[in-house]
Amino acid sequence: MLILSSPSGAGKTTISRELLASDENLWMSVSVTTRPKRPSEIAGEDYRFVQKGEFDAMVKNGELLEHARVFDHHYGTPRAPVESSLRDGRDVLFDIDWQGAQQLTEAMGDDVVKVFILPPSTAELERRLTTRAQDSAEVVASRMAKAAGEMTHWAEYDYIVINHDISDAVGEVSAILCAERLRRDRYIDLSRFVGTLTEG
């Protein structure tokens, strides 16, 4: 389970998309949210969009691995698809914020790897947020403030990737994923395999 967090504009969405395209064994968790769909978003792909009543019912029935309120909206991670992917031996990618990352770590323990993506500079972050034509100046300003708040949580993450260049950053997150799969304690049946080598 790989969590990617970052302030808006640091490149997390592009990195996630490229990772998923290049790695067959990776599946992305789709969050559920009560916020309205943006024009550029695809329902069921970027988010599952639900009404507040449905969201509350999911919380009540324990159907969410984690959930949090950000500004006026609620966000959560549905439990069933994550558990089914892990059962199939696939790794799961989460694009969630620090609150979600904290709750998911509490729920799932050591199986969670947390990566924080940082922009190379404040100027570059502002430039990236401003070039999204669909957002107003007020939205950009509020995102810059939110980004600063989000970034104060960097120390809760296992790995830090500074996104100077998007393809380098994709390569670095891929390397983290590859390396984590090679950790001794993530192998299944390694002891039996080494047994076949040493007794042969």
Smallest separation, CB 177 to a second copy (Å): 8
- Given its phi and psi angles, is residue 62 left (phi above 0), alpha (psi -120 to 50 degrees) or beta? left
Beta carbon of residue 190, minimum distance to a second copy (angstroms, whole number)? 6
**Site for a second copy contains 157 (CB under 8 A):** yes
* Distance from the Cα of residue 45 to its chain's centroid: 14
Nearest to 147 by CA among 163, 173, 129: 129
Interface pick for a second copy out of 148, 164, 165, 166 (rule CB under 8 A): 148
Residues in Cβ contact with 42 at an 8 Å cutoff, skipping those fewer than 6 apart: none
Looking at the DSSP assignment, which residues form a beta bridge with residue 91?
26
Q: Which among 34-42, 99-107, 131-139, 173-181 is the span making contact with a second copy, rule CB under 8 A? A: 173-181
Question: Is residue 154 near a second copy by the rule CB under 8 A?
Answer: yes
d(CA 113, CA 159): 8
- Residue closer to a second copy by CB (options 43, 178) is 178
Residues that bind a second copy (CB under 8 A): 116, 118-119, 121-123, 125, 147-149, 151-152, 154-155, 157-162, 171-172, 174-176, 178-180, 182-184, 187, 190-191, 193-194, 196-200
